[in-house]
């Protein structure tokens, strides 16, 4: 059986989909599995032993569909369930299974603040395989790292057996700690910290590095713990290289973002920081040891399931009033 899995974005959702090809391969050992996603996220599956081909999605939808038709799939599994993924599966004209979004439940939670039970998104992905008589194997997420990336990272400054990782960024403003809170968190960690982030986090990484490594102010240094040392790799590494750093770390501090789920796939101990979103929306770290830092004293949380460009209430207390005890 030849199967196409569709999940076009984003990083976290794609990592959360990784049990699906593994479970299919266990049930149908001779199946051929293809996974289609955007170019930026292909590296999540490039080394996955359960996927036979990773297909890069581009903006020319009809060219993509034409190429996919040539593959003559037996089954399409749609883990995105948006306009483009629905067009793809309908145009292919093959049997399909579709992930059911819990839109109404998440709307009730974010808009009416009704704390209704919401399945983890990975469980929802797995549930769409029920017609194939496939059940969860309890093994969590997968992330396969190539040896070249791993070897490169092992030789970098600050990478040893006793460092913490701070995942600096998140796609949306309301999911990110402001710089002054990041400084407070780093001071609480009070040890060597490796910063991981993309190009959008370059400036934040430089600020943290400058504050802890190069500050000459006696007034500042007198208020700080003395063991915090920053190793800044924001914007300098690929996704597999950043994942290699997570794998080698002793603990990962993360916002609600894609790298949090990569850390979960690597079975790391995670401290997750939630602002405008909420773990009960179904995006908490999956099948790994974790704890949550969040402000539980607000009746405006959660205000969104994916994050916003600004605080709707104007005070941003979900992040500004967080305590690192």
102 and 163 together in one domain:
no
192 and 305 together in one domain:
yes
The domain that holds 57 is classified in CATH as 3.40.50.2000
Q: Please, how many CA atoms are within 13 Å of residue 119, restricted to the half-sphere of its CB? A: 14
Residue 162 belongs to a domain: yes
User: Whole-structure pTM over 0.85, yes or no?
Assistant: yes
**pLDDT confidence of residue 217:** 56
**pLDDT confidence of residue 226:** 78
CB 134 within 8 A of CB 126: yes
Residue 16 belongs to a domain: yes
227 and 307 together in one domain:
yes
272 phi, psi to nearest 5 deg: -100, 135
Residue 325 belongs to a domain: no
Tens of pLDDT, residue by residue, the chain (325 residues): 999 999 999 999 999 999 999 999 999 999 999 999 999 999 999 999 999 999 999 989 999 999 999 999 999 999 999 999 999 999 999 999 999 999 999 999 999 999 999 999 999 999 999 999 999 999 999 999 999 999 999 999 999 879 999 999 999 999 999 999 999 999 999 999 999 999 999 999 999 999 999 865 544 555 577 789 999 999 999 999 999 999 999 999 999 999 999 999 999 999 999 999 999 999 999 999 999 999 999 999 999 999 999 999 999 999 999 999 8
Residue 189 lies in domain? 147-320
**pLDDT confidence of residue 50:** 98
| 48/115 Cα distance (integer angstroms) | 36
33 and 92 together in one domain:
yes
72 and 210 together in one domain:
no
**Partners of residue 195 on adjacent β-strands:** 166, 232
**pLDDT confidence of residue 224:** 75
**Partners of residue 98 on adjacent β-strands:** 78
User: What is the dihedral sign for C-alpha 209, 144, 256, 269?
Assistant: negative
228 and 171 together in one domain:
yes
**pLDDT confidence of residue 225:** 77
Tell me whether strands 192-196 and 75-78 are parallel, antiparallel or unpaired.
unpaired
Task: Show Cβ contacts of residue 213 under 8 Å, excluding neighbours closer than 6 positions.
Answer: 229, 230
**pLDDT confidence of residue 223:** 58
Q: How many domains does the chain have?
A: 2
157 and 58 together in one domain:
no
Residue 290 belongs to a domain: yes
266 and 176 together in one domain:
yes
83 and 126 together in one domain:
yes
Residue 140 belongs to a domain: no
Could you say which of 103, 132, 161 is where a domain stops? 132
Task: Show Cβ contacts of residue 58 under 8 Å, excluding neighbours closer than 6 positions.
Answer: 39, 64
| 270/264 Cα distance (integer angstroms) | 7
Q: How far is CA 127 from CA 9, 90, 122, 124, 193, in A?
A: 20, 21, 9, 5, 38
């Amino acid at each position: 059986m030849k199967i196409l899995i569709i999940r076009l974005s984003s990083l976290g959702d794609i990592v959360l989909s990784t049990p699906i090809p593994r479970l299919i391969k266990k049930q149908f050992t001779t199946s051929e599995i293809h996974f289609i996603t955007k170019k930026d996220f292909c590296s999540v599956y490039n080394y996955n032993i359960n996927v036979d081909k990773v297909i890069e999605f581009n903006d020319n939808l009809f060219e993509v569909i034409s190429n996919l038709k040539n593959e003559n799939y037996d089954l399409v599994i749609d883990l995105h369930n948006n306009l483009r993924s629905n067009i793809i599966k309908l145009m292919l004209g093959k049997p399909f299974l579709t992930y059911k979004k819990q839109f109404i439940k998440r709307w009730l939670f974010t808009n009416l603040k009704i704390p209704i039970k919401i399945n983890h998104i990975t469980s929802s992905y797995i549930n769409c395989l029920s017609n194939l008589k496939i059940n969860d194997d309890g093994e969590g997420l997968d992330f396969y790292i190539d040896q070249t990336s791993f070897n490169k990272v092992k030789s970098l400054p600050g990478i040893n057996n006793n460092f913490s990782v701070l995942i600096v960024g998140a796609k949306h403003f309301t999911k990110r700690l402001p710089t002054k809170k990041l400084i407070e968190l780093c001071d609480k960690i009070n040890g060597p910290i490796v910063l991981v982030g993309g190009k959008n986090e370059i400036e934040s990484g430089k600020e943290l590095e400058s504050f802890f490594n190069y500050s000459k102010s006696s007034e500042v240094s007198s208020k700080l713990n003395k063991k915090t040392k920053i190793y800044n790799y924001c914007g300098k590494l690929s996704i597999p290289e950043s994942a290699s750093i997570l794998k080698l770390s002793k603990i990962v501090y993360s916002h609600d973002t894609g790298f949090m789920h990569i850390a979960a796939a690597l079975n790391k101990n995670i401290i997750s920081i939630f602002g405008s979103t909420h773990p009960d929306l179904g995006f908490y770290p999956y099948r790994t040891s974790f704890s949550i830092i969040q402000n539980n004293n607000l009746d405006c949380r959660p205000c969104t399931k994916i994050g916003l460009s600004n605080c709707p209430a104007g005070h941003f207390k979900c992040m500004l009033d967080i305590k690192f005890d």
